[in-house]
Structure 1
Amino acid sequence: MSLRTFILCSSLWLAACATPRPAELPAPAGYYRVQSGDTLYRIARKYKQTVGSLARWNQLSDSSSIQTGQLLRIQPPSAGKTAGKANRPPPPKAVEKPAPPPAKLDIKLQWPVAGALLASFDGNRNKGVDIAGSAGDEIHAAAAGKVVYAGKGIRAYGNLLIIKHNEDTLTAYAHNQQLLVNEGDQVGAGQAIATMGDSGANRVKLHFELRLRGQAVDPVPYLPPR
């Protein structure tokens, strides 16, 4: 072998040694590079996953067909995305706008019962407020108006009363034990209209709602402070 050929071969051999083989390359976050002697079961156990999960995440039809140097996903795809996002600098937080003031109400409301507040309005799961009390306690009209519904046609509300106060404003009183007024009756502010119960509920309470122009709103800002 000539000196030139020897030097060329030696250079190529050193370059090959300096370049890491696939099995030696580091795996990115959320992945594992298969090493000699690995099995899918051993990898799953090491990273506290199931063989089925690893096979599904890596689209393996045969759990025994993994090769040395192969990259395997060891976290669910969503976890990998989350981890990637966690490494990015967070975007600047938007300045929260102050909540708009409550819409003007041209009638004066009063609390229908005097019990403690059990649940507040959130506009989603609770479109009113829940107020504690005892079975048989009197419930009073929050303002003068006309009873436009009295019955139990809405199962989740139990015995329900709805009073229309003007063209824009309704109040609703749910889970009553007994209704003391009928549909079509005119009622005065503070008049007893029902007794407290647990119809359609898991405990004795009054569910009280305020509707303005058809939309449920938090009644508390419109009621006198306690």
Structure 2
Amino acid sequence: VPDGYYKVRPGDTLTQIAKRYGQNVNTLVAWNNLPNASQIEVGQVLRVRRHVAPRSTATQQRQTTAVTPINRLNLQWPTDNASSSIIQRYNGTTSKGIDIAGTQGQQIRSAAAGTVIY
């Protein structure tokens, strides 16, 4: 990952990343054109520093083709049950995701590439 950028790891939140680099969450949202501060994904590359040391053109071209920030995520609703609704929203502290109502034994799928773990 180029200097001045950070690759999102499992469990990261934008708040944690901002704090680690001494930045404001809103600054990181603006620098990375994020539509929502709570929607970052593992593997996404984020700009975290204002001044990034200049590099040669060859280095910049190589890094540009090697590291492309991911700022969009297509999600699917994790169940076919039309009556499923959000009963707890993400708040970044006590709720690290959303809770969706359902019925026991109902089939659940991941909202994006990955595995449902709980």
Q: TM-score, normalised by structure 2?
A: 0.45
The alignment's TM-score, normalised by the length of structure 1, stands at 0.24
Which one has more relative contact order, counting CA pairs under 8 Å at least 6 apart?
A: 2
Larger radius of gyration: 1
